[in-house]
Each structure stands twice: as structure tokens, then as C-alpha cells.
Amino acid sequence: MPGSFVYPPRVDLAHTPTPLEPTARLSAKLGVDLWVKRDDLTGCALTGNKVRKLEFLFAEALGGGANVVVTCGGEQSNHCRATALAAARLGLRCVLLLRRVDPTHRPLVEANILLDCLAGAEIRWVSYAEYRHRQELMAALAEELRQRGEVPYLIPEGGSNARGAFGYVRAVEELASQMGPQLCSWPGGEKVTLVYAAGSGGTGAGLQLGVRLFGLPIRPVGFCVCDDRDYFVRTISTICEQACAEFALPVRVPPEEIEIVDGYVGRGYALSHPDELALLRDVARSSGLVLDPVYTGKAFFGLCSELRRNPEQFGKRIIFLHSGGIFGLFPKASEIAPLL
């Protein structure tokens, strides 16, 4: 590893290391050697990629004496659900700003919202227009909590900042010990492509930093599930720059080296095409692997589509980062049922 660095403080929340598994049937169908990094197995209710970031963010919250955490996301946010449950586990209060088209009309208490409520989170509903100003809203909420005598800690959307990115630096360190000769040695020194769903940028930033810090022959490629390529290149680049500056990391991530594939957002964030949902069904039936419709389903749909278009573009060996999100399936039950 070039130079050295020390991880920031971390609390133990996730069940790691998560498995790295081959997928014989999917590999045969796609014409590549496909492996899956099972970050859907980081826990039960705390499942998914968000908990890796939260390990570092909650350590800072506890170190600063916080008694309440505040974060934000969509109404079925995996990040907010993980934050609420982690807070309960650590004895902190949690306040969530959740966006909804009509915040005066409360949604069904199901899936991630049900888990938010079970964990005792206080939910503040905001409109999409209000959510565009989420930083200001969270700052105002933090001040409100301070006026009550509480000590708040603000967690950004998706846990995506310089500190949270260390969750996926650490995940890359796991890969370094798991890949071994079978995945690291192939003709021509071709890199393995690591495919992930790009939703708020923190996972992608951690992967970019990690492959450089540990010198792995890995090529991270993100598939947008919201926004577009330019947004994610900017966001990931910014998080990487901040992490390198704040924690004196001996690497650099040039924006031109950040690979993002656009064009598979579909109907929009958390909205699905029948073809995307049909792929979830087909993957589950052929491999037992359960993807979600918001993140991993869109990324895997994009990967399959790109491989049909150009089978050589990602090389012969691919690792798909399964970042969890299973609870996002349940609000889609009525859309999925006709496909079963």
C-alpha cells in the first residue's frame, strides 16, 4: 500500500467480512465470470451498504457526546432505516426528514417506514421542493434540538461524506484478502470490474479510495440509480478530495478516472419499469439472489443491458456489489405480483 493511514474511530455495527461468492448460472447466462460481494448480508434489519458508513459516523457522534442523530432521505430510505436502528442499538434518539410528494398524506406504515417506527425514530415529512433545501432544514432542526438541551449529530444523505466513505475503504480491504489468485491472476493483467449502484456517492468514493490505497487490480464502475453521470463524477470526486485532505491519505482520485454509466435511471429514483422488475424475478429464480428495485436491481439491469450491447467492455471478470435494499421490494408488491 502506498504510504499508510489510520482509520478513523469506528463502532462495530455490521457483520463483516461479507462473503464473496461465485455465480455459476448467472455467469453462464451473461458470458462473464461474475462474482457477488454480499453486502446485503451485513446484518438482518441493518442489512446493506449503509451500515458500513454508519460505523464511522456513529463513532464520531458518540465521541462528541451526541444524544440524537438527524438524517434525511426518501420515504423508503434504506439509509434512514439503518440509521434509526443503529441509533436504537447505541441508545441514541433519531430524527428523520423523509421526502414525499404530498407530505400531508402519510404513507402506509410498511417496509422501511415500519422499521423506522419500530426503532422509535421521529419522522418529519417534507415535500420534494422542501427536500431540495435539506441541509438548511437539518441545520434548523439541529438548532431546535439544541434549544431543547439535546446534542445533535447530523448525518448527510446516504451517510455520504469523507468520514462515511471509509466504510467502503474497509470493504475494499476485505476484498484484498478475499480475491486471492483465482480473481487476481488472469492473462494480460486485466483488472476485475467492480460494479455498484451509485445513489449518493459515498460508496463509490470509498471504492475509488480503497482500490488505490490497497493497490488492487480493480476497476470500480458505478451505475446511476438517480441523477446523472456528471453529478456522480462531481460528487465522488469531491468526497475523495475531502477525505484525502482531512485524513492525509497518500492517494489522489482524478475525476477523469471515475467511471459512471448513465442511462438506466429509467422512470426515476425508486420508480420501476416492468422489465426491471422482471429481471429481479429472473435473477431470484436462477440464482436465489434477491435484488432490490431501487438500487441493485437498476444497476444489475444496466449491467446486463451493457453486456448485451458490448460483451467486452467490462472484461471477463466482474464483481457485483450487492448493497442490500431488500425492504424496498415490499412497497412494489402490487407491481411485481403480475410478473410472478
**Active site members:** 77
Cα–Cα separations (whole angstroms), residue 206 to 159, 189, 294, 319: 12, 23, 21, 16
- Written as nine digits, the cell of 107 is 404513507
Q: In the block, which residue shows the cell 404513507?
A: 107
* Alpha carbons 294 and 305: distance in angstroms, whole number: 17
Residue 68 contacts by C-beta under 8 Å, 6 or more apart in sequence?
A: 87, 92, 93, 94, 95, 145, 150, 151, 152, 153
Q: Distance (Å, rounded) from C-alpha 112 to C-alpha 131?
A: 19
Assign 71 to helix, strand or coil.
strand
Q: What is the 3-state secondary structure (H, E, C) of 97-118?
A: EEECCCCCCCCCCCHHHHHHHH
37 in Cβ contact with 175 (< 8 Å): yes
- Within 13 Å, how many C-alpha atoms sit on residue 70's CB side? 20
Distance CA 68, CA 57 (A): 13
**Residue 22 backbone dihedrals phi, psi, to 5 degrees:** -75, 160
Query: CB within 8 A of 153, min separation 6: which ones?
Result: 57, 60, 61, 64, 66, 68, 69, 70
